[in-house]
Structure 1
Amino acid sequence: MSAPVTLCFLLRTNDGHEQVLLGLKKTGFGAGKIVGIGGHVEQGESVVEAICREVAEESSLTVEAMDLIPAGTVEFVFPAQPALDMFTTVFLCRRFSGVATESDEIAPQWHDVEQLPHEAMWADAVHWLPEFLTGWRGHWRVVLNDDNETVASSTRTPANVPSLVENFGS
């Protein structure tokens, strides 16, 4: 069974450039990579509650449930190590408060949306992240190769946005 995970990509405009908050992962799975802000959904927690908590824990920023923009989902499949499988709910957010601050787990960094640091990210991010950031909504399924790093296949299915929003409830 895939672990429920959630990610939130905070967006801002700086000097006329749209930027997204990513972070250098300092510990755990993916350490050393540039990743999105987020993490596992805890028992009894909704995905909305989880992402609000994770954003605060990892960046010191505050996001409100009503400001989250449902983008879709990404199912990560690790055939060589099924215990790593994840079902990830992805949000965008343009309204937040506070200043991004380094935590024990993440060193947050703003990046221009047009110049994402793909070489420092998971290999799968190039498939789905630019799509979500430019307005595409739906579901991705990413199957990793046996090295648990490179992508064997990546497929997407567009979503009906009203039903997508209903499925995220708070």
Structure 2
Amino acid sequence: MILTTMCYIQKGNQTLMLHRNKKENDINGGKWIGVGGKFEAGESVEECMKREIYEETGLTALKLQLHGFVVFPQLYHGQDEGMFVYTCSEFSGELHECDEGDLQWVDNEKIPHLPMWEGDYHFFEWIQDDRFHSAKIYYQNDHVIEYQESCY
């Protein structure tokens, strides 16, 4: 299983979203996502999340909140992906250009209208409560064919 992180950085009623439009053969190509990525050797989940935030945005995460963990069976080039979903509302620094796509602060009410992975819309429900979410999302041809979720 490939382990990854995803964070929705928030300020006021906006969320920093990444429009993946710069990499060739990008599994996320054309979609709007949070920032994040794959673990490097020896990293904890929090170290990975903070590093990815800094590398992709130039921002330093001061406080992270974990909302859940999701498994995507055979999504990542035939391998299972496990992803930790975070938010960050306390950060420092200035945004810089990202080589994976365009970063943009998006009004939260506009997020449901962005072209995203179908399963990602659930993550915005997760961040509205104080529960921990665990999910398995099955995709086929870029569409959710099954969604299983538990909350704690």
Structure 1: which 5+ residue stretches go unaligned?
160-170
Match of 2:136 in 1: 141
Q: Deviations over 1:45-68 (max 9, x none)?
A: 11110111100111111113xx11
Match of 1:124 in 2: 119
TM-score by length of 2: 0.88
Task: Indicate which of 69, 73, 76 corresponds to 1:73.
Answer: 69
Work out whether residues 34 and 120 of structure 1, in 8 Å CA contact, stay in contact via their aligned partners in 2.
Answer: yes
| Secondary structure of 2:47 counterpart | helix
Match of 1:21 in 2: 16
Q: Deviations over 1:114-148 (max 9, x none)?
A: 2205441112212x222123125311110012x1x
Q: CA deviation at 1:106?
A: 3.0
Structure 2: which 5+ residue stretches go unaligned?
none
Work out whether residues 34 and 117 of structure 1, in 8 Å CA contact, stay in contact via their aligned partners in 2.
Answer: no
Larger proportion of helix? 1
Work out whether residues 59 and 93 of structure 2, in 8 Å CA contact, stay in contact via their aligned partners in 1.
Answer: yes
TM-score by length of 1: 0.80
Work out whether residues 58 and 106 of structure 1, in 8 Å CA contact, stay in contact via their aligned partners in 2.
Answer: no
Match of 2:42 in 1: 44
CA-based RMSD of the aligned residues comes to 1.8
Identity %: 30
